[in-house]
Chains A and B, each alone.
Chain A
Amino acid sequence: MMTSVPIRVEGVSKTFGAVPALADVSLHVGAGEFLTLIGPSGCGKTTLLKTVAGLVPVDTGRVMVGERQVSGPGRECSMVFQDFALLPWATVQKNVEFGLVLRGVPAAERAATARRSIAKVGLGGFEEAYPVQLSGGMQQRVGLARALAVNPRVLLMDEPFASIDEQTRRLFQDDLLRLWSEERTTVVFVTHSMEEAIYLSDRVIVLSPRPGRVHQVLDVDLARPREVSDVRASGEFARLVDDLWKILRKLQ
């Protein structure tokens, strides 16, 4: 169990060459909150996520993760990528150990930590498999196990389920919610899927495109734990998805 930290984005702007990506974006993510960023292509949601990760420096404004002002990658955050970003030459075990290796964790300790993390995401028994031998869903489980292995305060997820088939995705979403309720990390999640945004999140932030701005914030007050009840079948769920669609449609 770890303590999660809040994130503050304060007046952040970012331009790539002549292309404005983010314009005066401010938002707050509570400690332990599950927040989703959604919006049309070009709304800068991935860029925003990467400013929090410290991978993209901001032009103006600032990003605070807990007490730290972000000026580069830090140790509070872990990232999960749409294309998994696994090392093809390394086994599942070695992939999950990767973050721990970079942080200089001793071999025995990191092997044990990685094994626990692999078990958490339901991949026990696949430690010696190579990524190429796994399905997309399983590869992303490796990506998640790698992210969790370093015991992050903040989990940054960039369209993690976008290239996974629907059935696998639903199972994975439930597992993610279960893990999140156990680990209590702060999660910032980027997606294109309205259902996914509503199903997972405490709040959904809709960004408008070119340049990205905060357009609207949607509170999702569906009861938790959602993974055990049939939330998707409820009228409340349908209404929230519909609200989100009405907001997004006007932005197209």
Chain B
Amino acid sequence: MVLLLRLASFALFLLVWQWAAWKPISFNFPSPLATLTAFAGLLGSGALLDATRTSLASLALGFGTAVLVGVPLGLLMGVVRPVGRVGRVYLDLLIALPTAALIPLVILSFGISVLSSAVIVFVFSAPFVTMNAYGGVRDVRPRLVEMARAFDGSWPQIFARIVLPSATPMILAGIRYGLSRAFVGLIIAELLLSPFGLGRLIMASRSMFEHDRMFATVLWTLVLAGILLAALARLESRLLRWRA
């Protein structure tokens, strides 16, 4: 049933798209078929895979660091209350900040490189990963801690066996949301600064008026994000089977 609905909604989307291209709403708006052809061409020339590899490297570096730093930092903030109270001010600021405004600063500091895209990916995603880990610890049921204490559990035991598993659902949700933010950051970074990756492919196609190629790249980016997010969602539901 769900599968049917999904297929139907996708077919509807293609229909509307075809109609929009045929109407046309703009003379250089590509049809689905033209986009698919361009996609095949990009795939054949290797340009798309090269760009994807470069982009995923920035993503992995930036987002990986965000998770490796954000989760422990959020846990620390949750467990050591004073650290949490100080830290959350910065997190709130980082989350409220229009992060794109930081890009010139990042270019100045790191130059135009894969590293600077990774830094921007990090800045986009890390605050959410951290905030959720922090929230996860704060949501631990005090009664479970009391129960473990009543069994004479040590603080390291309570952390490992009560706090961490209690916080896991929120940590995973933070990682998933962080990943979608990381994609946003990645494309913004590549559009605005770095001469490589999927963002550059989008910019290059646009400046050459190759809108079918541009469309193909944008859609490919969406598919990529969709695949990674779905993989995370699967992992999440496997780890959280007990909630069913």
Measured CA separation A77–B151 after assembly (Å): 8
B206 at the A/B interface (Cβ < 8 Å)?
A: no
B143 at the A/B interface (Cβ < 8 Å)?
A: yes
Chain A: interface residue total (CB-CB under 8 A): 26
A66 to chain B minimum Cβ distance, whole angstroms, is: 15
Are B165 and A103 in touch, CB under 8 angstroms? no
B 95-125 to A, binary, CB cutoff 8 A, 1 in contact else 0:
0000000000000000000000000000000
Are A55 and B165 in touch, CB under 8 angstroms? no
B243 neighbours in A (Cβ, 8 Å): 88, 132
B125 to chain A minimum Cβ distance, whole angstroms, is: 26
Are A55 and B150 in touch, CB under 8 angstroms? yes
A53 neighbours in B (Cβ, 8 Å): 150
B161 neighbours in A (Cβ, 8 Å): 98, 101-102
Are B242 and A150 in touch, CB under 8 angstroms? no
Are A98 and B242 in touch, CB under 8 angstroms? no
B162 neighbours in A (Cβ, 8 Å): 87
Measured CA separation A246–B152 after assembly (Å): 40
B41 at the A/B interface (Cβ < 8 Å)?
A: no
B153 at the A/B interface (Cβ < 8 Å)?
A: yes
B27 to chain A minimum Cβ distance, whole angstroms, is: 57
A101 neighbours in B (Cβ, 8 Å): 161
Are B143 and A73 in touch, CB under 8 angstroms? no
B168 neighbours in A (Cβ, 8 Å): 89
B149 neighbours in A (Cβ, 8 Å): 55, 73
Instruction: Give the number of residue pairs across the A-B interface with Cβ within 8 Å.
Output: 55
- Cβ-neighbour of B143 out of A77, A83, A99 (below 8 A): A83
B150 neighbours in A (Cβ, 8 Å): 53-55, 73, 77-79, 156
Are A150 and B143 in touch, CB under 8 angstroms? no
A75 neighbours in B (Cβ, 8 Å): 152
B144 at the A/B interface (Cβ < 8 Å)?
A: yes
A131 to chain B minimum Cβ distance, whole angstroms, is: 8
- Cβ-neighbour of B147 out of A79, A130, A150 (below 8 A): A79
| A73 in contact with B165 given A79-B147, A89-B242, A90-B242 (CB within 8 Å) | no
Measured CA separation A62–B200 after assembly (Å): 73
A74 at the A/B interface (Cβ < 8 Å)?
A: yes
Question: Per DSSP, are chain B's interface residues mostly helix, strand or loop, or mixed?
Answer: helix
Are A103 and B151 in touch, CB under 8 angstroms? yes
A47 to chain B minimum Cβ distance, whole angstroms, is: 13
Measured CA separation A98–B161 after assembly (Å): 9
B57 at the A/B interface (Cβ < 8 Å)?
A: no
A 150-168 to B, binary, CB cutoff 8 A, 1 in contact else 0:
1000001000000000000
Q: How many residues of B sit at the interface, in one of the four size bands?
A: 20 to 34
Question: Per DSSP, are chain A's interface residues mostly helix, strand or loop, or mixed?
Answer: loop
Measured CA separation A228–B182 after assembly (Å): 66
Measured CA separation A54–B152 after assembly (Å): 9
| A85 in contact with B153 given A90-B242, A101-B161, A132-B242 (CB within 8 Å) | no
B237 at the A/B interface (Cβ < 8 Å)?
A: no
- Cβ-neighbour of B165 out of A74, A79, A89 (below 8 A): A89
Measured CA separation A130–B165 after assembly (Å): 15
B139 at the A/B interface (Cβ < 8 Å)?
A: no
A81 at the A/B interface (Cβ < 8 Å)?
A: yes
A55 neighbours in B (Cβ, 8 Å): 146, 149-150
Measured CA separation A78–B242 after assembly (Å): 26
The closest CB in chain B to the CB of A83 belongs to: B143
B229 at the A/B interface (Cβ < 8 Å)?
A: no
The closest CB in chain B to the CB of A130 belongs to: B242
Interface residues of B in 230-244 (CB under 8 A from A): 240, 242-243
B148 at the A/B interface (Cβ < 8 Å)?
A: yes
Are A102 and B165 in touch, CB under 8 angstroms? no
Measured CA separation A74–B153 after assembly (Å): 10
Q: Could you list 14 examples of A-B contacts with CB < 8 Å? A: A55-B149, A74-B152, A77-B150, A81-B143, A81-B146, A87-B162, A87-B165, A89-B242, A98-B151, A102-B148, A130-B242, A132-B242, A150-B151, A156-B150
Task: Give 10 new A-B contacts, CB below 8 A, not counting A103-B152, A132-B242.
Answer: A54-B150, A55-B146, A73-B149, A73-B152, A79-B150, A101-B161, A102-B151, A102-B161, A130-B242, A156-B150
- Interfacial residues, chain B to chain A (CB-CB below 8 A): 141, 143-144, 146-154, 157, 161-162, 165, 168, 240, 242-243
Nearest 4 A/B pairs, CB to CB? A85-B147, A79-B150, A99-B151, A102-B153
- Interfacial residues, chain A to chain B (CB-CB below 8 A): 53-55, 72-75, 77-79, 81, 83, 85, 87-90, 98-99, 101-103, 130, 132, 150, 156
